[in-house]
Structure 1
Amino acid sequence: MPLTDLIEQAFAPATEALRGDNIPGAVLGIVTADGTRAVRWAGWAQIEPEREPISRDTVFDLASLTKVIFTTTTILRLVEQGRIGLDDPLTVAIPDLRQYDMDAAERHLTFRQCLAHQTHLPAVEPLYTYGQDPDTLRAFILQRVWRSGPPVYSDINFMLLGIAIERITGTPLIEQPLPGGFTFRPDPCLCAATERCTWRGRVIRGEVHDENAFALGGASGHAGLFGTIDAVLDFARSILDGSALSAESLKAIRTRESDKRTVGWEGFYAGWHGGDACSPTTIGHTGFTGTGLWLDFERGLAWSLLTNRVHPTRHKDTGIMPLRRATGEAVIALFDQNRRS
């Protein structure tokens, strides 16, 4: 069975979600390590203020996929270049981090700890409510006495990593070079719409949905990247075939730093968002706007489901978790069946 036939069947959970008006639109892409791919799409890129159909070329706000596609990959390449060490403290790149307290816990955080979410930093903070001057907000992030707690999945970790990338490269995140199909500055007319934002007073389209990333200038280490399904699949294939990173870096993103986390990514566990049919070495990540990417190394298979599930509001049960799981399980079941036949 060719991938084009397989994807028609694997898209069935998304079709049901679209039929039930749980999500406006969806694009599913599958790619193998040898580059074979298939893409299926349906629904709407925007339903208000007026309807516009989705397409293969629709540009999505990738949300927290920014963490793995851009930030993690960039940090690991800087390690490969010898410009930093994975176990170096952030202060190697950001010497003014908590500069008024040389014993502050933040000054001891390493790149590895932030990438693997093994820090004391909180999950999220409404930084945008403190103002919208990006330079001042960056200074606030660096000097804030953060409340301490157990390790959690934290946007703050990746905000710090984004600032480190800017310091090391001397280039603002929004101006960083990106592979084709990715951008921090999309054409709104090409984008899937996200939320009707009460803070900004409009339907968000072509600007980052995440309020903190918006206040930081449109791009941050945790959010701000936009891309098409084919750009995401190109990235996934480059990880699967080993061309994106060195062997040591690939080992890092596949090796557990905790029960659920590797360097940058989340590793398979029972009940996770990628479905229980994944091989144990599968890694994946999701984005708040309704995006997701999974790489099953044993099968040489990756798939990405991109939706705009927060359009026009996040305050609705869209069933995104069961949709992601059902899609992953369908992709793998059909792929395995195809290999056996």
Structure 2
Amino acid sequence: MSADAFGLAEQAVQRGVIPGAAFGIVRPGELPQTACFGLAQREPEALPLRPDDFFDLASLTKVLFTVPEVLRLVEDGLADLDEPLSRFLPEVGWMGGGDLGTRTLRQLLTHTAGLPAHAPLYTWGSGPAILKARLLQEPWKLGEPFYSDLGYMLLGLVIERLRGAALAARPLPSGLTFSPDADHSVSTEFCPWRGRVMRGEVHDENAFALGGAAGHAGLFGTLAGVLDAARALLEGTALSAAALAELRRPQQGERALGWERRYPGWSGGSLCSPGTLGHTGFTGTGVWIDFERGYAWALLTNSVHPSRHSRLPLQPLRRAVGNALAAQWSRA
């Protein structure tokens, strides 16, 4: 039934749009349909992509790890989405002033806190503990709502503070990890700063500098692991019914809690159901969940390999695959 979508992914590899791709679809109560194509690495030597290889999920960390972890804090009575950041991290902005401490967990989750999109923490030249302290004390200038890695870094610190343990120590289901076996990992980019091709090490420079696991990046996953995480949300087993309803609810504009909802031109295509949630990662990853039609799909690629500066756009492929699946499953 999904042959057209699988063919689109395979053709993208054959045309050289991406070195490799792992693609799969899952429905409740059914075995996933999966396939992988192409290479896990081109340089310095060609390595075939295997079904159980780990991909650097990049910003899928936000929605597959950080958002559920924050909602579990709420479920456990340790936090509320509308409480200010200063309740959990009282030292935030203490030296530099500003309004960051008044921003709520909900605002951080929905990218509406007004934080900048990015800052090169990895160039600040300190160890993870000092970088985390400086992240809290930096006088961030708040402005208009903007998609922000910094907000999710702060959410990662909230999780660590309330759980009393590093993010990497949090339990994860099979197929998701912050410390993959490099020999079973897909390569991302040759990093001039680190002087090597990243394989089994987080691609995101700031997550690397923060110790490898952060609220915005650092999670690795196999195709099966990502599909299982998506299925748990689709079937309602990942969170309580109340938390899942809050996760799916429209929050602001095109956003749910962390996830994107369908909008004109978005990555999941134009034919999916209105309540579909999806998210992408900079390394070339993506996952989408169509709750109304009852299926989820993931397209994991290594499009930044060997360089982000030479890769081809992925959005046309993502939208084409999403539309092919929506057309097929709507007829099922």
TM-score by length of 2: 0.98
Which residue number in structure 2 is paired with residue 139 of structure 1?
A: 133
The answer as to 2:56 corresponding to 1:53 is: no
Which residue number in structure 2 is paired with residue 69 of structure 1?
A: 64
2:2 is paired with a residue whose SS is helix
Which residue number in structure 2 is paired with residue 32 of structure 1?
A: 27
Mapped partners of 2:117, 2:147: distance in 1:
6
1:232 is paired with a residue whose SS is helix
Mapped partners of 1:302, 1:36: distance in 2:
12
Structure 2 counterpart of 1:219, from 209, 213, 218: 213
Could you tell me which amino acid in structure 2 is paired with residue 255 of structure 1?
R
2:226 is paired with a residue whose SS is helix
Mapped partners of 2:263, 2:56: distance in 1:
26
Mapped partners of 2:238, 2:114: distance in 1:
31
Structure 1 counterpart of 2:321, from 315, 320, 327: 327
Mapped partners of 1:35, 1:176: distance in 2:
28
The answer as to 2:317 corresponding to 1:316 is: no
Q: Please say if residues 100 and 142 of structure 2, whose CA atoms lie closer than 8 Å, have aligned partners that are also in contact.
A: no
1:247, distance to aligned residue in structure 2 (A): 1.7
For 1:186-265, list aligned pairs within 5 A.
Answer: 186-265=180-259
Q: Please say if residues 98 and 140 of structure 2, whose CA atoms lie closer than 8 Å, have aligned partners that are also in contact.
A: no
1:323, distance to aligned residue in structure 2 (A): 0.9
Measured against aligned partners, the alpha-carbon deviations of 1:120-175 in whole angstroms (never above 9, x if no partner) come to 10011111011141011101110001122210110001000000000000111122
For 1:29-178, list aligned pairs within 5 A.
Answer: 29-100=24-95, 104-178=98-172
Mapped partners of 2:258, 2:28: distance in 1:
21
Q: Please say if residues 34 and 241 of structure 1, whose CA atoms lie closer than 8 Å, have aligned partners that are also in contact.
A: no
1:231, distance to aligned residue in structure 2 (A): 0.7
Equivalences, count: 332
Structure 2 counterpart of 1:304, from 257, 276, 298: 298
1:317, distance to aligned residue in structure 2 (A): 4.0
CA RMSD of aligned residues (A): 1.1
Mapped partners of 1:185, 1:292: distance in 2:
20
Moved more, 36-45 or 215-224: 36-45
1:11 is paired with a residue whose SS is helix
Q: Please say if residues 61 and 225 of structure 1, whose CA atoms lie closer than 8 Å, have aligned partners that are also in contact.
A: yes
Runs of 4+ in 1 over 3 A off after TM superposition: none
Moved more, 162-171 or 244-253: 244-253
TM-score by length of 1: 0.95
Q: Please say if residues 134 and 216 of structure 1, whose CA atoms lie closer than 8 Å, have aligned partners that are also in contact.
A: yes
Q: Please say if residues 22 and 300 of structure 2, whose CA atoms lie closer than 8 Å, have aligned partners that are also in contact.
A: yes
1:293 is paired with a residue whose SS is strand
Mapped partners of 1:8, 1:307: distance in 2:
19
Could you tell me which amino acid in structure 1 is paired with residue 223 of structure 2?
I
Structure 1 counterpart of 2:5, from 6, 10, 19: 10
